[in-house]
Structure 1
Amino acid sequence: MTLTLQRNIILALLVASAAASWTVLIRQQIGMGAGMEIGSPTMGMTAPLFLAVWIVMMIAMMFPTAAPVILTFHQVQAAKRGRGGTFVSTWVFVAGYMLVWSAIGVLAFAGAAGAEMLGERMGMSTATAARIGGVLLMVAGAYQLSPLKDICLAKCRTPIGFILTSWRDGRWGAARMGIEHGAFCLGCCWLLFLALFPLGMMNVAAMAVVTLLIFAEKTLPSGDRIAKVSGVALLLYGAAVLVFPQALPTFQPAGTMMMN
């Protein structure tokens, strides 16, 4: 089997997995009338269900953006096998990458559940909750303009550079490389995912925008400038939400049920 065919098969599997995950998310949003609390951070889900939905989200949103580095990893592995070296399946690298995002899903649920509990104890109004969401959007925007964002984005924008400078042999080495790249990817994108909480964790339109933004940042020649522009946009939108809480998609007027 030629390298081109192998790469095409891997790319097709990544795209198919992402497409299937988007289908699940869209159907989940359509069926949100089955008791999901739209305005709450956990949407009324239990921890296992939240984590399952989170993993589906990560496959949908991150597989397309991680495809270049995954394909580059396979290309280097195939070249090693051609020279008689030990070949490690590319999916070991993918498993390490997904391990990072799965662990973040656990932390995301803990933070969301804690925020819900605190909000209930304090008797927080919907306007106050929306303004806190506006602050989160502004924090995400500020991070887009930060030096740490630039460092992590640079690692994600140069797949061959990451592979060559972080290479480790063997299955455990491949898993560690996946974890390391997942950590850089996390450093590049984590606050964009945090912004999904005020926008709505099951807001497919918001997820699509974030996915396109991450893909543009990582792959387009002007990706670093796109990150800066998006940061300014988030700062302005967050500031607008502070003044007009109803500008947030998850805003629920006082006295209404937080149910779809």
Structure 2
Amino acid sequence: MTGRPVTLRRGASPAGLLLVAAVAAWVWVVTRWGGMEAMPGTMGLGLPAFLAVWTLMMTAMMLPATAPVGALYARTITVHRAPRMVVFTLAYLLVWVAVGLPAYGLAAGLGRVESLPALAGTAVAATMFAVNGVYQLTPLKDRCLARCRSPIGLMLRYASYSGPSRDLRAGAHHGAFCLGCCWSLMVLFAAFGVMNLWAMVALTAVITTEKLTPAGRLVARVVGIASIALAVAVFWFPEVAPGLTGAGTARM
């Protein structure tokens, strides 16, 4: 499904609340982690602390691009809109919280690269860039992105949901499509460093542009080609992947 991305013309109040939540998460992340260097692995965090930080990161990064869909979904709710939108949003975020589990395992495993020869970290970084680059150019990426950009079909599907679990199911379903759009971009945190705020800003801009602008599909392809180029360039410029090569620093 293709078409123009949904806008905030109507349903601005639910969209605005999602944006407020995103801004609050950004403020916390910047004030808490803004001066730290990009570091390999889990940055010394245990699983509970890592999941808490990961959840705030996903809230900051994903809700801006999801706000228009949230506004559109809110228009299908006739009673108890506010609490039901909270359920929808929490279900959406729970998908990304679940992703934090393999993200922690990946970060913990890659943290050991630091003790290996420098070339090993560079090779792993090249693999991460290549994985993202290839996925950005696949039909599956296009399919998931099309649903996020023009979700009328999703709204019709959600209208068929009934019972008290409707909002939970709708939020989780939409979260799954967003995961299909963006999982490979999140893999890049392994190369950039989990708490690299510049990477957070750049990836948020990519995700939001892909989903909400007319040139979104073109942007996805350009990012894919650029990522493949970085897979080659990192051997000459290891500082582009400080989270795995230890070259350079990344500060906010």
For normalisation by structure 2, the TM-score amounts to 0.86
Write the distance in 2 (CA, Å) between the matches of 1:8 and 1:244.
Answer: 44
Pairing of 1:143-154 with structure 2 (within 5 A): 143-154=135-146
Per-residue deviation, 1:31: 4.7
Per-residue deviation, 1:109: 0.6
Write the distance in 2 (CA, Å) between the matches of 1:166 and 1:246.
Answer: 45
Q: Is the 8 A contact 2:15 2:68 kept in 1?
A: no
Q: Residue type of the partner of 2:152?
A: I
- Structure 1 residues not aligned, in runs of 5+: none
Q: Residue type of the partner of 2:36?
A: M
Residue of structure 2 in register with 1:10 after alignment: 14
Per-residue deviation, 1:101: 0.5
Per-residue deviation, 1:17: 1.3
Q: Does 1:52 align with 2:56?
A: no
Q: Deviations along 1:201-232, whole A, 9 cap, x unmatched?
A: 11111111111111111111121111001100
Q: Is the 8 A contact 2:39 2:194 kept in 1?
A: no
Aligned-partner SS, 2:45: coil
Write the distance in 2 (CA, Å) between the matches of 1:249 and 1:66.
Answer: 29
Residue of structure 2 in register with 1:176 after alignment: 169
Q: Residue type of the partner of 2:171?
A: G
Per-residue deviation, 1:133: 1.1
Q: Is the 8 A contact 1:92 1:171 kept in 2?
A: no
Q: Residue type of the partner of 2:237?
A: F
Q: Residue type of the partner of 2:19?
A: V
Residue of structure 2 in register with 1:92 after alignment: 87
Write the distance in 1 (CA, Å) between the matches of 2:240 and 2:226.
Answer: 14
Which of 178, 193, 202 in structure 2 is aligned with 1:200?
A: 193
Which of 70, 84, 101 in structure 1 is aligned with 2:96?
A: 101
Pairing of 1:1-260 with structure 2 (within 5 A): 7-32=11-36, 38-78=38-78, 81=79, 89-117=84-112, 119=113, 123-167=115-159, 168-250=161-243, 251-252=245-246
Aligned-partner SS, 1:89: helix
Q: Deviations along 1:53-93, whole A, 9 cap, x unmatched?
A: 00000110011011111111110113xx4xxxx86711111
Q: Residue type of the partner of 2:51?
A: L
Write the distance in 2 (CA, Å) between the matches of 1:30 and 1:224.
Answer: 31
Q: Is the 8 A contact 1:61 1:211 kept in 2?
A: yes
The structure-2 alpha-carbon separation of the partners of 1:47 and 1:221, relative to structure 1 and needing over 3 Å to count, comes to same
Per-residue deviation, 1:235: 0.7
For normalisation by structure 1, the TM-score amounts to 0.84
The structure-2 alpha-carbon separation of the partners of 1:43 and 1:130, relative to structure 1 and needing over 3 Å to count, comes to farther
- Structure 2 residues not aligned, in runs of 5+: 1-7
Q: Is the 8 A contact 2:13 2:71 kept in 1?
A: no
Runs of 4+ in structure 1 displaced over 6 angstroms? Answer: none
Write the distance in 2 (CA, Å) between the matches of 1:116 and 1:187.
Answer: 26
Aligned-partner SS, 1:170: coil
Q: Percent identity?
A: 38
Q: Deviations along 1:26-46, whole A, 9 cap, x unmatched?
A: 12333537xxxx432211111
Per-residue deviation, 1:242: 2.8
Write the distance in 2 (CA, Å) between the matches of 1:177 and 1:219.
Answer: 20
Residue of structure 1 in register with 2:3 after alignment: none
Write the distance in 1 (CA, Å) between the matches of 2:53 and 2:13.
Answer: 26
Q: How many pairs does the alignment contain?
A: 238
User: Is 91-100 or 10-19 further displaced after alignment?
Assistant: 10-19
Q: Residue type of the partner of 1:40?
A: P
Aligned-residue CA RMSD (Å): 2.3
Write the distance in 2 (CA, Å) between the matches of 1:248 and 1:94.
Answer: 32
